[in-house]
Amino acid sequence: MDVLVILIPASLGLGAIGLLAFYWTMRSRQYEDPDGDAARILRTDYDDAPPNG
Amino acid sequence: MSVTEHPGAAACPGCVASPASLPRQNGGLYDGAIQISLPTIHCAGCISTIERGLSVQSDIEDVRINLTRKRASVWAKEGVSADDVAARISALGYEAQPLDTATLTAQDSDRAARDLAMRLGVAGFAMMNVMLLSVAVWSGASDATRDLFHWLSAAIALPTVTFSAQPFFKSAWRAVSAARLNMDVPISLAILLAAGMSLYETINHGEHAYFDAALSLTFFLLGGRYLDQRMRSNARSAAAELAALEAPTALKVMADGTTKTIETKTVEIGDVLLVQPGGKVPVDGVITEGSTELNRAFLTGETDPILAGPGDMVRAGEINLTGAVRLRADAVGHDTLLHGLSDLIAVAETAKSKYNSLADQAARIYAPAVHLLAFIAFALWLYLTAGDVRIALNVAVAVLIITCPCALGLAVPAVSTVASGRLYKKGLLLKHGTALERMAEIEEVFFDKTGTLTAGAPRLMNAGLYSENALGVASALAAASGHPRSQAIVAAAAEQGTVPVRIEDIHEVPGYGVEGRWQGKLVRLGRGSWAGAGDIADGSWLAVEGEPVVRFEFEDVLRPGAEALVKELQGAGVPVTILSGDSQEAVKRIADALGVDDWIGSMLPDEKVAVLEERKHAGRKVLMVGDGLNDTAALATAHVSIAPASALEATRVAADAVLVSRELDRVWDMFVTARSARRRILENFSVAAIYNAIAIPLAFSGIATPLMAAIAMSTSSIIVSVNALRTR
C-alpha cells in the first residue's frame, strides 16, 4: 500500500491542474464567444488582439 | 463558408499596428465601446473583413466581433458616433445597426452565469476525485485504508460543499425564513446531512460515508440550475438587444431655430420637436407647424394613413409619412398613452407569474413528501433498534439522498434549454420562463391583422391593368415620396418593366401627395379630393391635366408563412380568429385570402380585451398574436402571447415570446416544440417517479449502500438529460 503515497497525490494533483485550467478559462472570458472562436481558428491571419479579461 | 481572401499580416497593417495598449485591456470588456448589431455575419470571413476593414481607419482604435452574439464592439476616437461606425460597416457589405449601450445591461446576468459555472466546475472536479477514492472503499478496502480514503474524501468534499452548494443553501434559507418549503429545502438538507453524517461516520471508523453522494447531488443540481440561468440570461440579453436597436431620440428645436438630437426621456412638456418624414413621433403632442400624413396602424390597426395638420393631436409611436412637422410636447415619459398601458401590463404579469408550472406542481408534492418519509424512517428505525440514533440517522440520510431530486432538478431545465435553443435558431425568442408550457396548452388562436398577418406594407392591386403612360407618370411622381403607397407604385412599375417618364418641377405636398409637370401638363398623385376626383378617401389617384383621373387601389401583403400557419392550425383542430381595428372590408379580404371564417373588424382595443376575457372565463386557453399598441392589453390578457419583433417595445414587453423571424409559420414550430417539450418533461417526471419507487423501499429498509446511491443517482440523471435531447 506504500504506492498510495505517490498515487493519491498524483491523481489529486492532476485533477487540481484541470480545475486550475478551468478557472483560468473562466477568468479570461473564453466562453464569451464560442462560435467566433471556432471560426477564428480557421483564419490564416494571426489574431494579434485576443480578448483580455 | 464564403470565400474571402486571407492576406497575411503584412497586408493587414491594422492587425499589426494595434499592439499591447488596446483600450479594452484597460477596463472591462464593454467599457466605452460602441456596440453594433450585425445580424448577417456568419463566418470567419465576415469577422476578418469587418475587423480589418475598420481597424485600418485612423479614427478607429480597436474592433472586436462577437460571432455568438452577432455584435461588434468598436473603440473609436472621440467624435465618431455609433451611426458613423454602422455606416462604415454597411459600406463593407454587411447589415449593421447601432445599439444603445445604455440599454444593454447583460453584464449582471453574465456574472451570475460565470459564478454558477465556477461552482459547477469545482463540484465536478471534487465529485470525480471523491468517486475515484470511493471506488477503493466500494471494492472492499477496510480498517485503516478505508479510514484514510474517507478522510481524504472529507478533505475534498467539505470545502467543496461549502462553496458549491451555496446557491441552494441561500435559496432554502430564504424559503424557510418565510415559512415556506421549496425544492431547495430538501436538497440543502440532504447535502448537509449527508456531509455531516459522513464526517461523523469517518471519525468513528464507520463503514458507510456518503461524501460522493453529497457531491454528485450538488453537481447534477447545479447543472440544472446553470442551464436554467443561461437560458434566461440569453433571452434577457436578446430582448435587451431588440430594445437597444431603437434607442429613443427626439429632434428638439432650440430657441435659435437649430435642431439638436436629445434622448426622448429628457423631453419636457412645452418643448418643440421636429419630426421628419419616416420618423416616429417621440411623445404625445399637438402639431404647431406643417401638415403630414400619419400611420396610426399600431394604435388602431387601420392601414390607411391619417391626415394631420396644425392643432391636431399626435400620439407617441405614430409614424410620420410625408411632411416634416413641428409639435409641442404636452405629455412626456410616463404620461404618454404608450406608458399608460404599462400598469395594465404589470397586472397581467403578476397573473402570469401565478401560473402553476409543472416544476412547481412537482415541487409542491415532492418537498413535504421527502421530509415526511425521512422523518418516518428515522422514527421507525429508532423504535426498531430500541434507540440507536446512529443507525436511525444513517437510514434517514440514505432516504434523503436517494429521494433527492437529481432527475427532478434536471428534468425541466434540460428540456427547456433544448427547446428554447431550437426555437431561437428558428427566430423565436422566449421571454417568459413558462411560455413554452402555456403554449402547449392552447386551444384557440387569435390574430391581429395589420402588421401581424400582413406585412404592414401595401401592394398595388392589378398592376398589369394600368396604361403604360399612367404607370410611368405615377411611378415617376411616386419616386419622390417616402409614402408606403408611393413605394408600392414604384415597386409595381419596376415589376411591370415600366420606365418612369421624365417629370419636371416635382415636389411633395405634405399630407396630400406629389405634383409636377409632365410635357407641360400639371400632374398630381395623391388624395382623391386633392387630385380632383371628389371626396373619396379610399385609394390614391393620379390626375393628368386634361385627362380623366386614374385610381390606384392597394391591398395588404400577407406576411410570409401566414397562410401556412393558418392551414397548420386549422389542420390541428385549433380554431383561428382575426381581431382587427381595420375596416370590415379590409379584414374580410385578408380573412378570405387565408380561409379564416371567424373575423371581427373595426374593433377598439377594449373590445379585443373583452373578447379574450370572455374566452378566458369560458375556460379556454388562448394564444394571441399581435403587434399593435391596440393589441397590448389583449396580449397581456391571453393565456400566452407572441409579438413580432417589428412591434413597439411596450407590446414586446407584454408578449411572452417575440417572433424575430419574418416568417409567421415559425409560430407553428413553437407550438410543435412546446407540445414535444411538455411531453418530454412529463416523461422525465415519470423516470424520476419510477426510480424513486424502486429506490425508496431499499433506502427505507436500510440496505441501501453509498454505491447503490451513486449508481442510481447518475443513471437517472443521464436518462433524463438524454431524453431532453429528443425534444423536437
Give yes or no: residues B434 and B485 share one domain: no
Answer whether B610 touches A (CB < 8 Å).
Answer: no
Q: What CATH number does residue B53 fall under?
A: 3.30.70.100
Nearest to B624 by CA among B352, B221, B304, B312: B352
From A38, which residue of chain B is nearest by alpha-carbon distance? B44
Q: Which residues in B lie closer than 8 A to residue A44 (C-beta atoms)?
A: 6, 8
Nearest to B454 by CA among B598, B560, B603: B560
The one-letter amino acid code at B416 reads S
CA distance A47 to A36: 12
Chain A: give the shortest CA distance to residue B246, in Å.
24
Task: Give the DSSP H/E element, type plus range, for residue B118.
Answer: helix B107-138
Q: What CATH number does residue B275 fall under?
A: 2.70.150.10
Q: What DSSP assignment string belongs to B122-145?
A: HHHHHHHHHHHHHHHHHTT--HHH
> What are the two backbone dihedrals, phi and then psi, of residue B536, each rounded to the nearest 5 degrees?
-105, 120
C-alpha cell, B220:
447534477
C-alpha distances in Å from residue A48, one per residue of B63, B459, B471: 12, 51, 57
For residue range B536-583, what is the model confidence (pLDDT) as tens digits? 656 778 888 878 888 888 877 888 888 899 999 999 888 999 988 888
Give yes or no: residues B436 and B585 share one domain: yes
Question: Any idea which of B28-42, B490-504, B597-611 has the lowest mean pLDDT?
Answer: B28-42
Q: Measure the N-to-C terminal CA separation of chain B; round to a whole number of Å.
A: 27
Non-local CB neighbours of B663 within 8 Å, separated by 6+ positions: B427, B559, B560, B561
The one-letter amino acid code at B707 reads L
Non-local CB neighbours of B52 within 8 Å, separated by 6+ positions: A45, B12, B14, B15
| Contact assessment for residue B660 and residue B420, using Cβ atoms and an 8 Å cutoff | no
Higher-confidence residue of B539 and B426: namely B426
Q: Cα-Cα-Cα-Cα dihedral of B600, B603, B605, B609, to 10°?
A: -40
| Contact assessment for residue B512 and residue B527, using Cβ atoms and an 8 Å cutoff | yes
- Say what the pLDDT of residue B343 is: 57
- Say what the pLDDT of residue B157 is: 93
| Contact assessment for residue B259 and residue B251, using Cβ atoms and an 8 Å cutoff | yes
User: b vs e for B312-323, b when ≥16 Cβ sit within 10 Å of the residue's Cβ?
Assistant: bebbbbbbbbbb
Task: Flag whether B390 is in a domain.
Answer: no
Give yes or no: residues B121 and B211 share one domain: yes
Task: Flag whether B255 is in a domain.
Answer: yes
Residue B428 has pLDDT above 80, yes or no: yes
Which residue, B673, B698, B720, sits at the end of a domain?
Answer: B673
From the list A36, A44, A48, which residue is nearest B66 (CB)? Answer: A36
Residue B260 has pLDDT above 50, yes or no: yes
Residue length of chain A: 53
Q: Which residues in B lie closer than 8 A to residue A3 (C-beta atoms)?
A: none
Non-local CB neighbours of B713 within 8 Å, separated by 6+ positions: B213, B216, B217, B220, B401, B402, B404, B406
Inter-chain CB proximity B52 and A45 less than 8 Å: yes
Answer whether B52 touches A (CB < 8 Å).
Answer: yes
Task: Flag whether B469 is in a domain.
Answer: yes
Give the mean pLDDT of B292-317: 77
Give yes or no: residues B442 and B580 share one domain: yes
Task: Flag whether B722 is in a domain.
Answer: no
Q: What CATH number does residue B529 fall under?
A: 3.40.1110.10
For residue range B434-446, what is the model confidence (pLDDT) as tens digits? 888 888 888 999 9
Inter-chain CB proximity B129 and A42 less than 8 Å: no
Inter-chain CB proximity B6 and A43 less than 8 Å: yes
| Contact assessment for residue B709 and residue B402, using Cβ atoms and an 8 Å cutoff | yes
Give the mean pLDDT of B76-96: 85
Q: Which residues in A lie closer than 8 A to residue B156 (C-beta atoms)?
A: 12
| Count of domains observed in chain B | 5
- Say what the pLDDT of residue B403 is: 79
Inter-chain CB proximity B64 and A49 less than 8 Å: yes
Alpha-helical runs (H) found in B139-210:
143-164, 166-177, 184-203
Mutate to test the interface with B, among A1, A25, A33 (most CBs of B within 10 A): A33
CA distance B160 to B124: 10
pLDDT class for B184, splitting at 50, 70, 90?
confident
Q: Measure the N-to-C terminal CA separation of chain A; round to a whole number of Å.
A: 45
Inter-chain CB proximity B67 and A39 less than 8 Å: yes
Which of these is catalytic: B448, B582, B627, B631?
Answer: B448
Q: Which residues in A lie closer than 8 A to residue B148 (C-beta atoms)?
A: 4
- Say what the pLDDT of residue B489 is: 86
CA distance B456 to B626: 12
| Contact assessment for residue B511 and residue B309, using Cβ atoms and an 8 Å cutoff | yes
Mutate to test the interface with B, among A22, A48, A52 (most CBs of B within 10 A): A48
Task: Flag whether B562 is in a domain.
Answer: yes
| Contact assessment for residue B362 and residue B682, using Cβ atoms and an 8 Å cutoff | no
Task: Flag whether B688 is in a domain.
Answer: no
Give yes or no: residues B661 and B593 share one domain: yes
Inter-chain CB proximity A23 and B118 less than 8 Å: yes
Angle between helices B184-203 and B358-384 (to 10 degrees): 30
Give yes or no: residues B146 and B279 share one domain: no
C-alpha distances in Å from residue A28, one per residue of A31, B34, B234: 9, 22, 20
Highest mean pLDDT among B282-296, B346-360, B371-385: B371-385
Q: Mean of the per-residue pLDDT values for chain B?
A: 81
Give yes or no: residues B574 and B651 share one domain: yes
> What are the two backbone dihedrals, phi and then psi, of residue B294, each rounded to the nearest 5 degrees?
-115, 140
Mutate to test the interface with B, among A30, A35, A37, A41 (most CBs of B within 10 A): A35
Give yes or no: residues B446 and B563 share one domain: yes
Residue B154 has pLDDT above 80, yes or no: yes
Residue B162 has pLDDT above 90, yes or no: yes
- Say what the pLDDT of residue B159 is: 94
Q: What CATH number does residue B667 fall under?
A: 3.40.50.1000
Give yes or no: residues B637 and B600 share one domain: yes
Task: Flag whether B701 is in a domain.
Answer: no
For residue range B6-59, what is the model confidence (pLDDT) as tens digits? 333 333 333 333 333 344 443 344 557 888 888 888 888 888 888 888 888 888
Higher-confidence residue of B287 and B298: namely B287
Chain B: give the shortest CA distance to residue A17, in Å.
10
Containing structural domain, residue B337: 249-341
3-state class percentages of chain B: helix first, strand second, coil last, to nearest 5: 55, 15, 30
Which residue, B217, B246, B275, sits at the end of a domain?
Answer: B246
Q: Which residues in A lie closer than 8 A to residue B16 (C-beta atoms)?
A: 48
- Say what the pLDDT of residue B623 is: 92
Give yes or no: residues B620 and B664 share one domain: yes
CA distance B636 to B632: 6
Which residue, B625, B648, B673, sits at the end of a domain?
Answer: B673
C-alpha cell, B221:
443540481
Answer whether A12 touches B (CB < 8 Å).
Answer: yes
Identify the burial level of B103 via C-beta atoms within 10 angstroms of its C-beta, where 0-12 means exposed, 13-18 middle and 19 or more buried.
middle
Report angle CA B719, B724, B728 to the nearest 5 degrees: 140
CA distance B426 to B422: 7
Judge whether B448 counts as a catalytic residue.
yes
Give yes or no: residues B269 and B157 share one domain: no
CA distance B446 to B460: 28
Give yes or no: residues B569 and B535 share one domain: no
Residue B160 has pLDDT above 90, yes or no: yes
Task: Flag whether B706 is in a domain.
Answer: no
Could you tell me what percent of chain B has a pLDDT over 70?
A: 88
For residue range A1-30, what is the model confidence (pLDDT) as tens digits? 688 889 888 988 988 899 999 999 888 878
Answer whether B44 touches A (CB < 8 Å).
Answer: yes
Q: Which residues in A lie closer than 8 A to residue B8 (C-beta atoms)?
A: 44-45
Nearest to B611 by CA among B645, B586, B643, B575: B575
The one-letter amino acid code at B716 reads S
pLDDT class for B2, splitting at 50, 70, 90?
very low
